[in-house]
Amino acid sequence: MAEMAAGERLIRGRIVRFERAKGYGFIAPEGGGDDVFVHANELGAEGDEVRSGTAVEFKVLDSGRGPKAYDVRLLDPVRGVGPAAAPQPELGPLADDECDVLSERDFRTEVTEQIIRVAPSCTGQQIEEIRAGLCELARRHGWVV
């Protein structure tokens, strides 16, 4: 986390989880590492647009309890998932000899969404560990490109 402690440079990441009712969430930095805490106040008026999967740009400081995001800016508010996300069309069945290969980024996003749906009490750290294990498995089996 030392590379993020400086706080001056902008970091990109995606919202892993955001609990509007509690006023906070977590961001997974693009370069990996620990998820970063983000308070609703750091999102300003854009806070209503935040969904899991939303791309953000932010700075980080060490709060003493772990990394904390500040100066957060949403990069693609419409691409997140959650209550206000556009419904996705159902995919038809694939032929027996076909499979759906995703980019690793898309796979991580889908895994994150599924974890949040089926196990909403998972912490940001737990989600990160599960995602890392599943991404490793997907790479070994050729499920992602």
Distances from the Cα of 56 to the Cα of 28, 34, 67, 105, 141, angstroms: 10, 16, 15, 15, 30
Boundaries of every domain in the chain: 2-141
pLDDT, tens digit, 9 for 90 and up, residues 40-89: 889 877 777 788 888 899 999 988 888 999 999 988 655 444 444 444 44
Residue 13: pLDDT band by 50, 70, 90 thresholds?
very high
Is pLDDT above 80 for 5? no
pLDDT at 7: 52
Q: What is the pTM of this model?
A: 0.52
> Per CATH, is 2-141 categorized as 2.40.50.140?
yes
- Which band of pLDDT confidence, cut at 50, 70 and 90, is reported for residue 97? low
**CA distances (Å), origin 69, targets 9, 29, 51, 121:** 12, 10, 16, 21
The residues, any chain, with a CB within 8 Å of residue 13's CB and separated by 6 or more, are 27, 28, 29, 30, 36, 55, 56, 58
The number of beta carbons lying within 10 Å of the beta carbon of residue 42 is 20
**DSSP 3-state of 122:** coil
* Mean pLDDT in residue range 125-129: 86
CA distances from residue 141 to 107, 137, 138, 144, 145 in whole angstroms, order as listed: 13, 6, 5, 8, 11
